[in-house]
Amino acid sequence: MTVVVLGLISSLLYGVSDFFGAVASRSRPAADVALGALVVATAAVLPALALVDSVWSVEAVVLGAVAGAAAGLGVMLLYAALAAGPVGFVSPVVALMSAVLPALVGFATGERTTAWALAALAAIVVGGVLIGLEPEASLRPRPRTVVLTLVTGLVYAAYFVCIDATPPDSGAVPMLSDSVAAVVAVGVVVLLRRRRAAGAARLSRREVALIVAAGLTQGVATILLITALHLPGLAIVAALSALYPVTTVGLAVVVLHERIRLQHVAGLAVAVLGVAGLALARG
């Protein structure tokens, strides 16, 4: 039950972070937005080192760093993909890949689950995909958007697998290693881009607020996610990650006044039933 609650809250917070980051990326380069958000997220996870018992090891640091580099590049690619659109293609495909691929890895490495849990996982994934479908989903995405989306899904899946492989007693060590590596990975991209481009304009107050909000929600979500991944159930947490479009689409409806469609309501209902079924299956 604990892993379900942690995974669910983490997923919803990631959806909030993605919304803020995507809105900021409409007026700023995605790499700049991602770097700012990741710096704030790193500051947000630092207190966890003092609050959580952690054992330092080479394995925890290296796996956390690999996961962080993947996550940093994934955030940057996701913002770029969402800015390029259509959101209805990007959001559900990334959600599906980041949920299914780690789950397959978990099953392949011997993780056992019940038939009811598998059915609940399938419902969560289907619900997340339905929620992410937008009216623009009928538009044909450009090749660049397709590539960005597929690579984003792969690196997000790699993040789940790497963090899950860290030692259970490593506590907050992977969080710190993860966050620092993400900042470094995206920072290198930003520096390389700025060497070839003119100086960037100063951030507006609105852009700063969006980036800080994206970073804070991402930092809290990371703490909850890594805590969940240190518990048994990689497939469970990965499937719950497919729910992040719930808050992304919800905020788009409330803040940006986008219209909600029937499949959004149906997807939410299916996803909620899946989460409830998963909680019961896990006891």
- Three-class DSSP category at 171: coil
pLDDT at site 260: 67
What's the burial of 151, exposed, middle or buried (CB within 10 Å: 0-12/13-18/19+)?
A: middle
Low pLDDT (below 70) residues in the chain: 1, 88, 113, 132-140, 196-200, 258-260, 276, 278-283
Q: What whole-number distance in Å separates Cα of residue 213 and Cα of residue 41?
A: 9
Query: Can you give the pTM of this predicted structure?
Result: 0.79
Mean pLDDT estimate for the chain: 82
**Distances 106 to 109, 121, 157 between C-alpha atoms, Å:** 5, 13, 11
Dist CA 181 CA 220 (whole Å): 17
CA atoms within 13 A on the CB side of 171: 13
Report the candidate in 161, 143, 163, 207 with the shortest Cα–Cα distance to residue 64: 163
**pLDDT tens track for 27-65:** 888 889 999 999 999 998 888 777 777 889 999 999 999
Quick one: pLDDT at residue 65?
Answer: 94
Tens digit of pLDDT for each residue in 248-263?
Answer: 777 877 887 766 677 7
Write out the residue range of the structural domain in which residue 145 sits. Answer: 2-282
Q: How many structural domains does the chain have?
A: 1
> CA 118, CA 156: separation in Å to the nearest integer?
21
Q: For residues 14 and 22, what is the distance between their CA atoms, to the nearest angstrom?
A: 12
Residues 6+ apart with CB under 8 A from 232: 3, 111
